[in-house]
């Protein structure tokens, strides 16, 4: 049987709580850390979301970042175990708590901006499934406010549904989504046909993302746009929260995200040792670290998957753990060159630190 570990749960915002306990628990469950005995353990740290007030949902009382009413067993030697009082681990947890990250709204806008498709959920108006949730894979673009834009055929099931009930949600996965550690966002709102005076602007935005979308010229296809009422983000294990419509509209996509993949791929293929050294030098986590893989980059820093081994006293084999680590840049990077400069700077600093520590 698998065990589940939670370091901290962030208090949900009003926009997430409004959906009721069931949705909140589902969102929280997506933020939990699952430990599988048959595979390396996947652990993580949550971001800080300082809202000290408490709320009670589905029998769990959320106070600040901690959840009262019970916890789950984590190996004592784990880097995320609250029982681990190793000074290095304590310093590491403090570093992660204060590490610079994109806001939930910025991360959501970045994720939506990077995608070309998602799953739209509507309330079915079709015979046989009327009143039931219905999901459809749809292609979309966004306008300057991050509102999704669609070209829908009048014959599509979701178009039929929207004519009766405009309420819908759009779930979008991060590029290369492959595990619960990867990010996803759900936008909730209303999707309706676009006014005639806005059609050309909407078409231009859609064609920029989908230049070969010949179907938009068919007579039965009409332009639709979703007005965002709220969004909920799961950025990976133990990073989840709600976003208001105002927060979503005010945020901007991260400028570094478009070349995150190529940079991460280059670092993993050719400079894995440098990434490992940066993690050790920046976060202070050194003991038992055997690997580091760069996952994503944004203007404030990097997300790295770290492999750690811990051998409890008397154990024949070490416990193997994999968990995300946030590595902030010394200062924000607004373009590709600046990202390279920050990584070079951190690599040199880590190398100098290693030499200093190795000196007699």
- Residue 3 confidence (pLDDT): 33
pLDDT over 90 percentage in the chain: 61
The rounded radius of gyration (Å) of the Cα atoms in the chain is 22
Lowest-confidence region among 166-170, 290-294, 298-302: 290-294
Query: What integer pLDDT is reported at residue 302 of this predicted model?
Result: 96
Nearest to 279 by CA among 290, 264, 266: 290
pLDDT tens-place string over residues 33-60: 333 333 333 443 333 333 333 333 333 3
Phi, psi of 232 (to 5 degrees): -130, 130
Helix (H) or strand (E) holding 205, with range, is: helix 199-209
344: which residues sit within 8 A by CB, 6+ positions away?
none
Structure token pair of residue 6 = 């939670």
Residue range 87-141, pLDDT digits in tens: 888 888 889 889 999 999 999 999 999 999 999 999 999 999 999 999 999 999 9
What does the pLDDT look like over 217-254, one tens digit per residue? Answer: 999 999 999 999 999 999 877 789 999 999 999 999 99
Give the dihedral sign, CA 93/4/184/13.
negative
- Give the model's pLDDT for residue 276: 94
Q: What is the pLDDT, as a whole number, of residue 287?
A: 85
pLDDT for res 204: 96
Instruction: Choose between 27 and 236: higher pLDDT.
Output: 236
Task: Check whether 334 has a pLDDT greater than 70.
Answer: yes
pLDDT in tens, 178-194: 888 789 999 999 999 99
Position 71 scores a pLDDT of 47
Closest to 183 measured CA to CA, from 40, 1, 23, 31:
31
pLDDT of residue 219: 93
**Greater model confidence, 294 or 7:** 294
What is the tens place of the pLDDT at every residue in 67-80? Answer: 334 444 445 555 55
**Residue 336, pLDDT score:** 95
Work out the average pLDDT over 275-285: 92
pLDDT of the residue at 56 = 31
Q: How many C-beta atoms lie closer than 10 Å to residue 74's C-beta?
A: 23
Buried/exposed 192-205: b ≥16 CB within 10 Å, e otherwise: ebbeeeeeeebbeb
Percentage of residues of the chain with pLDDT beyond 70: 76
Higher pLDDT, 305 or 228: 228
- pLDDT number for residue 312: 73
């Amino acid at each position: 049987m698998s065990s589940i570990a939670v370091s901290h749960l962030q208090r949900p915002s009003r926009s997430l709580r409004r959906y009721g306990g069931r949705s909140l628990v589902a969102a929280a469950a997506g933020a939990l850390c699952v430990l599988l005995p048959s595979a390396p353990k996947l652990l993580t740290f949550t971001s800080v979301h300082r809202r000290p007030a408490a709320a009670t949902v589905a029998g769990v009382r959320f106070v600040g970042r901690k959840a009262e009413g019970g916890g789950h067993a984590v190996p004592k030697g784990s880097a995320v175990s609250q029982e681990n009082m190793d000074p290095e681990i304590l310093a590491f947890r403090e570093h992660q708590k204060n590490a610079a990250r994109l806001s939930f709204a910025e991360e959501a806008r970045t994720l939506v901006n990077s995608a070309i498709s998602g799953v739209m959920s509507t309330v079915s108006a079709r015979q046989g499934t009327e009143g039931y949730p219905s999901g459809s894979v749809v292609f979309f673009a966004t306008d300057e406010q991050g509102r999704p834009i669609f070209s829908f055929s009048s014959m599509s099931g979701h178009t039929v549904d929207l004519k009766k009930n405009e309420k819908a949600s759009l779930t979008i996965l991060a590029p290369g989504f492959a595990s619960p550690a990867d990010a996803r966002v759900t936008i909730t709102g209303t999707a309706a046909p676009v006014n005639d005076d806005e059609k050309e602007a909407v078409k231009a935005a859609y064609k920029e993302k989908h230049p070969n979308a010949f179907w938009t010229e068919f007579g039965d296809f009409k332009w639709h746009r979703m007005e965002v009422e709220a969004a909920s983000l799961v950025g990976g294990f133990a990073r989840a929260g709600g976003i208001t419509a105002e927060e979503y509209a005010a945020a901007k996509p991260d400028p570094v995200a478009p070349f995150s993949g190529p940079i991460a791929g280059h670092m993993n293929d050719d400079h894995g040792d440098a990434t490992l050294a940066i993690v050790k030098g920046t976060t202070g986590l050194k003991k038992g670290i055997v690997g580091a893989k760069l996952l994503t980059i944004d203007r404030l820093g990097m997300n790295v998957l770290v492999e750690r081994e811990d051998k409890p006293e008397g154990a024949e084999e070490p416990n193997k753990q994999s968990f995300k680590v946030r590595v902030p840049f010394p200062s924000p990077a607004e373009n590709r060159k600046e990202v390279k400069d920050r990584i070079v700077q951190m690599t040199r600093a880590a190398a100098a630190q290693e030499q200093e520590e190795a000196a007699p």
